[in-house]
Amino acid sequence: MRLFEHYANLRPRYHEAYARDRLRASNLVAARLEMVYTHRFEGYLDLAFERDGSWLIVPLVRIDGGCLMVQEASPLIWPAEYAYASDAVDEIEELVIPWLRSVVIARLVNDEFIRVFRDEPTCADVFRRARRSALLGSAPYADVFRTLGAAVYGARFARERNVVLRGSDAANGAAMLSSFARRIAWTCEDDDVARTWFSGLSTTSIEGDGYDLYVGPRDGAIDAHTCVFDDAAREGERRVVQPEPMPADVLVSFDPEDGLVMREFAVTESAVPLRGSRLFEPSRAGASAGRIAIVVRDDAERAPDADSDAAHELARSLQAEGFDARVDIASHIDAASVDVIHVFDLRHGVSVIELARDAEAAGTPIVVTSYADDRAGEVGRGISGALAIPRMALDRLVFDETMHAFEARRISNLDNDPWYGASADLLMQRAAAVVVASNAEALFLQERFGYRGVTVPVAATVPLTRPTDRIGSLVGNEEFVLIHAPLEPRANQLAATVAAERRGIRLVLVGPVADVEYQRYVNQAAGRYTIQLRDSDLTPEELAGLYARARVVADVGWSSRGLHRLARGAAHGAAVVASVTGYAHDLWAELAFLVDPANVGAIGEALHRAWEAQPQLANAIAARTAERCDPFAGLVAVVSAYGQASVPNPT
Amino acid sequence: MRYSIIIPVFNKADLTKQCLDALPATIADAGEGEVIVVDNASSDHTQRVLAAYPWIRVITNERNLGFAAANNQAARIARGEFLVLLNNDTEPWPGWLASMLRHAAQPDVGAVGALLLYPNKTVQHGGVAVAGNPFGRQQFQPFHHNYLVPFEDPDVRRTQEFQIVTGACLLTPRALYERLGGLDEGYWNGYEDVDYCLKVGRAGMRVVYDGEAVLYHFESQSGIQRFRKTIWNTELLDRRWRGSVRFDAAEKMLARGYVRHPLRGSRLGGINAHVLHLRPINVVVHGEEPPEGRAAFERRLRCTRAPVGAIVWALGDDALATAREAMRIRGARFTAFVRGAAEPSEGWLDELVRQLSATPTTFAAAYAPEIASDVDNVVALAADGRCLLVHLMRVPAHMRLEAFDSLDASLADLGLRMLPLGFGTRIAQGVFAVPPVREDASFESRHGRPLAAVLRGEPEAVEAELRARPRRARGLVSIVTLSWNAPQYTKIALESIRTHTSEPYEVIVVDNGSGPETVSMLREIDDPHVRVIYNERNRGFGGGNNDGIAVARGEFVVVLNNDVVVTDGWLDSLLDPFDRIPSVGVTAPRTNKIVGDQQVVDASYADIEGMHAYAARRRRSYARRGYLTDRAIGFCLCIDRRVIEEIGGFDERFEMGNFEDDDFSVRVRAAGYEIYVCEDSFIHHFGSRSFVANDVDYASTMRENWSRFAEKWGYPDEFPTNGYDPRKAIYGGFDRARHFAPLPTRRVAGAVLEPGTVVPREYDVVFAAFVRDEADWGNVAEFTKRYFIAFDAEAPVTLAIAGSGDPNALTIARRVERTLQKLDQTPERCADVEIRDEEDLAAWRSSLPERVTIDIERIVDRSPSALRRLLRGVSA
């Protein structure tokens, strides 16, 4: 029996005993096959079982189309929660697979195919009516998921809560939220067939009050702590948009870049408790002068990361001290018209080479904040593997097996290109001073680039934006692990998501989408415990609020861009989980939980331990962070680097 | 003004500069025109670059409007008669525009595309062909024709029509562009050019690819959005054009000779692109003489773009044999069958090729007017041979046409047998003049339905057919294991077989000339499942196993090393794929220690209990999972009896060990059988115990055997340290005359083991010999040699040998065979021998006909001439 864990948040949850009784070949009423848009031969199967008038709906069974044609293994990959039913599954596969194969032989399989296995009038009638009502498991995904937006968004508020739903989308929403909520009450127009179709779910009719979450129309809304209205947002509410669902891996999205926006919701806002920070805005002396060009990656605007945060924060601090400091990409900078060029990150395009040459011609010194952290020389390989593994591992067994091999460094056919290109070599040759996070980084620069010039240690430049506590509409009231990085293999969010989901740890991923294919895999893995937010949807204060609310901050990427984002959370007392590839140990020593980014199990364990230990570690972490990341000391150090780089008249 | 070149840009200023720098010199011969650059809110130094070209018109947008909107925006202010949409990541070659304008001057041309090359001068775009998508949301797949082909290729430089050309360089009349509403802005940086070309086609205009207009295309991407919206673009395109786009990939194949096509899965379930080569198609004419005469008929058959090779006339009694031969012509990829009563019309074969290339789950395409329609997606349950094209590479080599009253029935029968393998028969569009179905009594008798009934191929009928396939009975399994010293391992292996095998089995231990300790251990085995063959010398892996296989009685034969420990369910898992996958001929397990990917990487058990626990876990987790491969290692192979009958045993030219399993695998695959490695069958392997125990130079043996393998299959003699590609040998096909590896004859051994199969015969003389021990054998061996020299198969004599245990009858039989080999005689031509195991020699002796039996101990002069004289005397 092949299993997978994808889309756990979208499937209704039944009691095991109930499901066992119905999950049998003899109870199978209908199967619905629908193709999805991927680059693989892939589709999904919805199965509906009935026994004695009660139904079991198993949607989103994955079809490995390759195995329908080349019979290497079963083409059906089952939701992991049915692992206990392997014998029943064997019988069901024996019934279903010949049908699937016949479809593949006899047709171009591009559409929806339905096979009714039991044509008793009652069953067939229920199936037909469910389909007309676009109930989950009976109708095309685009129709079903169009109705699910509000509930999917509301899921972040639903865990172990009392939930109530009303309106035309309530039945599907209730089915989907059944895997989250403690108690669910709902009503909808086609109540009769919907209650039959979802008869196995422990839901009730609406009675009384005391609900934590309401999902439905604003008119006739039931009072609850949080409401997700199927309506335009009013003042004080958060506007959430839902693009048209595609029959693909992005089934329900709140990102307008995923398609044409077709619905919007309003979410009532609430405050959450925040932790205070130990980092404070330093008093400004001012009166300094000098023209500083701070250079960021060409794609920094599109894919902001810790380096660009730090660059902007440094620019703000320098400006406050009277410097003429601006942040820009290399091709926009005129080397002759500035006194210092401060390049953030070593991974730049060719334009930085031109800039470095211009700087040399103009006699303008270059200071580099290197973020050089590929000491083991495996970042290229790591990134390649982080994408290749989900690409080829269709089921959990292959995923785990491949991850084990990856962790043991047994997979050899991965891209092992040097992580640093020609621009890094040139920058390090031309750098008059380098800002490093730790002595270990300085040593690495010496070993990797032969750099023996001035190094200035500045652990992290942390943005000091004042947080807002009005972030309840984003993340609910529960604590979470925060990973703030562009969604891409380098940042390794997939491993963190799988680890968190398996451990039942709430994870909030914040960042732009830098790699769309990788986003697909993260979407699939993001189940009941993961929330994804686009940082472009957040105000700086809301982002600061997330840091102040996070219980754990994590960076399990193959290469980070410094310690800034970890330090930002740690300043509030959040526990730190970081990759061994970076320099977290130099900053927090034993207070940080270090992991191998290839080891999903270790990441899960570290997240769990950090979560448990946070209350005890909070003060020590915050104090250590405040001590090592003092904004004023950091600014002084950077300015001294400018001085040592012989910047004329730096102060 | 003749033309307006429109270049939308978003960043990548350096590429824009390169493109603009190249333009003036390359368009000088194109007449008067203008260049409009639309800057879609670039954030780099694009504006600075554009400012350096005063001869261009620039539109600057405050936000990125996307490719379609930017082109439309420029088209609205364009003054040229023709619009030229051009990407900024291109570098034109001289004369490109003048050439495109020449084609555009024709009144019915609505769009002209160009040849776009990668910097290494391979094709990025040479027109866009369309293939059907067999399994996926999108019904059709546009793809770049001639992708990565060197630009010197004549087809690349040939101007031809397509449905679609790329918008990276697309010329179209401005009036038409306006009439069609320009590029559809519903797409986001993708497929708007495809959509536009399809609109041009729908408007009745031609889309021309100009192979003389050449540009480099650096194919850079302008950010992640391009891919982010891919799904949306795909959906939109599919919604708009589903059902109205012609799958023209095959037409391009006909012109080109090949097409890229998804064919089969890999180990991990992905689908690999496959290049399908179209070679000359041999046509078999059968059924009846064409009324118009053969020559005229042949001329009609050749009226098609698809290349017709030989035309084979399969009429009369040997029609089936002729058809079989036509399907085995070396190098052929397709064979067409046409009834003499059919009336082939022009292009008859092209449509069949088009249908065959439509999906990877089709092995044949046919005309069947009874179910054909203008719907382009009809599959038959199976089709008769009135006009049928068979894709030979999808028909396993071992699946021959079977004998029926007519070839029509033989071909329909083949179709039915191909269904469980996952292949159907597509029905060609249009009505081709074929005669009505001619019913065939033999077909109806065997399949229980008339021939016409199998034409109907709705999914329900296919499903019913798949469900009706009876499960195969497993029967006896013969386990053949070699022993060459290291007796402790043999003992462990046998014990594990006894403990962990629940299927009916027999074990044949072939001792390859071990020392006394091993022989003694083998003699002590007291197990009714186990038989032992004692060889005097080491016959190598191949020879030893062949000795065992020759006497195996099972429906399946498992060749198993003696340095293994099998685990619970091992054999069940090895047998299971034969039920599930009809084309599987050999299965193999995973193990802890072996060369190649059969070795698991996570077997970290410390002792035998841990190993069994690991194997049990693995069996549960990996139930019925595995992968198809071209090569399985010989330490354990489970072989279907029909494979042995088809390809024989191991090739004995490989001495001691190594590469005989490679050779066997190649022959299995070449014969059209699959090799399946079972993830759920785990066998512990100590590894090379025989080599270690016998102090064999492993490396040297391997090199020598590689040389033999290389010579046999045409590989370079140099040892391939990084492995070799077996497909080279496999694709050569299985040639029984050259590749069949005969087993030691069963006639000699058969007389002992299967007495029922021996035809009783009257003898004038029976020579009786007792073999109680090796000393006796020395005496008998000498007599046997002279006996074979003295007599041949016609002589009315037999040599009856009885063994009483050591050596036993099997061992004696092997030795007798080798005596024959040394004398260069074959079992078919030698005098008869009967060999038995007999515990009671006296009883056996008394069972022989007393009147004509002579004990060889009593014969003093054993020279061949004396023996012949003896026979003559007795006969007289």
DSSP code per residue over A246-266: PSSS--S---GGGS-EEEEEE
Residues 6 to 45 of A: which have CB under 8 A from any B CB? 35-38, 40-43
- The top-level CATH class assigned to B274-468 is alpha beta
> Cβ contacts (< 8 Å) between A64 and chain B: which residues?
269
> Cβ contacts (< 8 Å) between B460 and chain A: which residues?
102
Q: What are φ and ψ of residue A193, in 5° steps? A: -70, -35
Q: Of B359, B370, B357, B364, nearest to B432 (Cα)? A: B370
Output the pLDDT for position B257.
Answer: 62
With vertex at residue B294, the alpha carbon angle to CA B289 and CA B295, rounded to the nearest 5 degrees, is 170
CB nearest to A69's CB, from B132, B227, B265: B265
> Cβ contacts (< 8 Å) between A70 and chain B: which residues?
264-265, 269, 422, 628
Q: How far is CA A354 from CA A450, B15, B45, B840, in A?
A: 22, 16, 13, 100
pLDDT at B265 over 60: no
Output the pLDDT for position B166.
Answer: 95
Q: HSE-up of B197 (CA within 13 Å, CB side)? A: 29
CB nearest to A66's CB, from B137, B228, B271: B271
Across A558-567, A615-624, B59-68, B305-314, the highest mean pLDDT is recorded for A615-624
Helix or strand holding residue B460 (H, E): helix B459-468
How much is the mean pLDDT over chain B? 86
Output the pLDDT for position A271.
Answer: 95
Contact A110 B138 (CB under 8 A): yes
Decide the pairing of beta strands B765-771 and B853-855: parallel
Q: Is B45 on the interface with A (CB under 8 A)?
A: yes
Output the pLDDT for position B749.
Answer: 37
- Shortest Cα–Cα distance, B179 to chain A (Å): 26
Helix or strand holding residue A35 (H, E): strand A28-35
- The torsion region of residue B247 among left (phi > 0), alpha (psi -120 to 50) and beta comes to beta
Q: How far apart are the first and last CA of chain A?
A: 70
Q: How far apart are the first and last CA of chain B?
A: 116
Q: Is A398 on the interface with B (CB under 8 A)?
A: yes
Asked whether the beta carbons of B341 and B287 are under 8 A apart, the reply is: yes
How does pLDDT run across A124-171, given as a tens digit for each residue? Answer: 999 999 999 999 999 999 899 999 999 999 999 999 999 999 998 999
Beta-bridge mates of residue B241? none
- Shortest Cα–Cα distance, A106 to chain B (Å): 5
How does pLDDT run across B115-161, given as a tens digit for each residue? Answer: 999 988 999 999 999 887 777 788 888 888 888 888 888 889 999 99
How would you list the strands of the sheet with A552-555, edge to edge? A530-533, A507-510, A481-484, A552-555, A575-579, A592-595
Q: Divide the 651 residues of chain A into consecutive groups of 10 and give the mean pLDDT of each group.
A: 89 93 96 81 90 94 86 92 92 94 85 91 92 94 92 95 93 94 88 91 82 94 94 94 75 81 93 92 76 92 89 93 92 91 89 90 94 87 91 88 88 74 89 93 92 91 92 95 95 97 96 87 92 93 97 95 93 96 92 96 97 97 94 91 69 37
What six digits make up the tokens of B705?
Answer: 């055997």
d(CA B157, CA B211): 4
- Report residue A389 CA to chain centroid gap: 17
CB pairs under 8 A between A and B: 178
- Shortest Cα–Cα distance, A263 to chain B (Å): 17
> Cβ contacts (< 8 Å) between A487 and chain B: which residues?
none
What six digits make up the tokens of A442?
Answer: 């300085």
Output the pLDDT for position B519.
Answer: 85
Pick the range with the lowest mean pLDDT from B247-251, B348-352, B723-727. Answer: B247-251
How much is the mean pLDDT over chain A? 91
Q: Which residues contact B760 (CB under 8 A, 6 or more apart)?
A: none
pLDDT at B79 over 50: yes
d(CA A465, CA A535): 15
What six digits make up the tokens of A178?
Answer: 């059944």
How does pLDDT run across B618-646, given as a tens digit for each residue? Answer: 999 899 999 999 999 999 999 999 899 88
d(CA B145, CA B159): 13
How does pLDDT run across B430-469, given as a tens digit for each residue? Answer: 767 888 888 899 999 999 989 988 887 778 888 998 888 7
Q: What are φ and ψ of residue A414, in 5° steps? A: -110, 160
The helix, strand and coil proportions of chain B, stated in percent and rounded to the nearest 5, come to: 35, 25, 40
Output the pLDDT for position A250.
Answer: 63
d(CA A59, CA A8): 10
Output the pLDDT for position B689.
Answer: 59
pLDDT at B284 over 90: yes
Q: Is B299 helix (H, G, I), strand (E, B) or coil?
A: helix
Q: What is the 3-state secondary structure (H, E, C) of A192-251?
A: HHHHHHCCCCCEECCCCCCEEEEEECCCCCCCEEEEEECCCCCCCEEEEEEECCCCCCCC
Q: Of B781, B780, B771, nearest to B805 (Cα)? A: B771
DSSP classification of residue A284: P
Asked whether the beta carbons of A523 and A574 are under 8 A apart, the reply is: no
Which of A2, A69, A389, A534 should we substitute to test contact with B (largest number of B Cβ atoms within 10 Å)?
A: A69
With vertex at residue A233, the alpha carbon angle to CA A232 and CA A236, rounded to the nearest 5 degrees, is 170
pLDDT at B107 over 70: yes
d(CA A418, CA A525): 30
How does pLDDT run across B745-754, given as a tens digit for each residue? Answer: 544 433 333 3
As a CATH number, domain B746-875 is: 3.40.50
Query: What's the pLDDT band for B271 if we cut at 50, 70, 90?
Result: very low
Domain ranges of chain B: 3-247, 274-468, 477-694, 746-875
Q: What is the 3-state secondary structure (H, E, C) of B552-600?
A: CCCCEEEEECCCEECCCCHHHHHHHHHHHCCCEEEEEEEECCCCCCCEC
**Nearest residue on chain B to A43, alpha-carbon basis:** B136
d(CA B61, CA B57): 13
> Cβ contacts (< 8 Å) between A110 and chain B: which residues?
133, 135-139, 238, 242
Q: Which CATH superfamily is domain B477-694 in?
A: Spore Coat Polysaccharide Biosynthesis Protein SpsA; Chain A (3.90.550.10)
Q: Which residues contact A519 (CB under 8 A, 6 or more apart)?
A: A250, A487, A513
d(CA B37, CA A478): 52
How does pLDDT run across B198-207, given as a tens digit for each residue? Answer: 999 999 999 9
Output the pLDDT for position B269.
Answer: 31
Asked whether the beta carbons of A144 and A123 are under 8 A apart, the reply is: no
> Cβ contacts (< 8 Å) between A43 and chain B: which residues?
135-136
**Nearest residue on chain B to A519, alpha-carbon basis:** B228
Output the pLDDT for position B723.
Answer: 83
d(CA A242, CA A251): 10
Task: Check the CA dihedral B788-B790-B795-B800 and report its sign.
Answer: negative
Output the pLDDT for position A189.
Answer: 79
Q: What are φ and ψ of residue A383, in 5° steps? A: -65, -45
- Shortest Cα–Cα distance, B358 to chain A (Å): 9
d(CA B395, CA B362): 10
What six digits make up the tokens of B271?
Answer: 């689908």
**The two domains B3-247 and B746-875 share their CATH topology (first three levels equal):** no
Asked whether the beta carbons of B552 and B669 are under 8 A apart, the reply is: no
Asked whether the beta carbons of A476 and A226 are under 8 A apart, the reply is: yes
Q: What are φ and ψ of residue B144, in 5° steps? A: -70, 120
Which of A78, A104, A105 should we substitute to test contact with B (largest number of B Cβ atoms within 10 Å)?
A: A105
**Nearest residue on chain B to A108, alpha-carbon basis:** B134
Contact A110 B379 (CB under 8 A): no
Residues 265 to 304 of B: which have CB under 8 A from any A CB? 265-271
Residues 432 to 451 of B: which have CB under 8 A from any A CB? none
Domains of chain A, CATH where assigned: 2-135 (no CATH), 144-268 (3.40.50), 472-631 (3.40.50.2000)
The predicted model gives B652-668 an average pLDDT of 87
> Cβ contacts (< 8 Å) between A108 and chain B: which residues?
132-135, 139, 358-359, 377
Cis omega before residue B807 (within 30°)? yes
Output the pLDDT for position A296.
Answer: 94
d(CA A227, CA A265): 10
Q: Is A101 on the interface with B (CB under 8 A)?
A: yes
Query: What's the pLDDT band for B540 if we cut at 50, 70, 90?
Result: confident
How does pLDDT run across B713-746, given as a tens digit for each residue? Answer: 999 988 888 888 888 888 788 888 889 888 875 4
Among the four given CATH numbers 2.60.40.420, 3.90.550.10, 3.40.50.300, 3.40.190.10, the one describing domain B3-247: 3.90.550.10
Residue reference for tokens 């996307």: B66
> Cβ contacts (< 8 Å) between B269 and chain A: which residues?
40, 64-67, 70, 72-73, 394
The predicted model gives B295-308 an average pLDDT of 91
Name the amino acid, one letter, at A478.
E
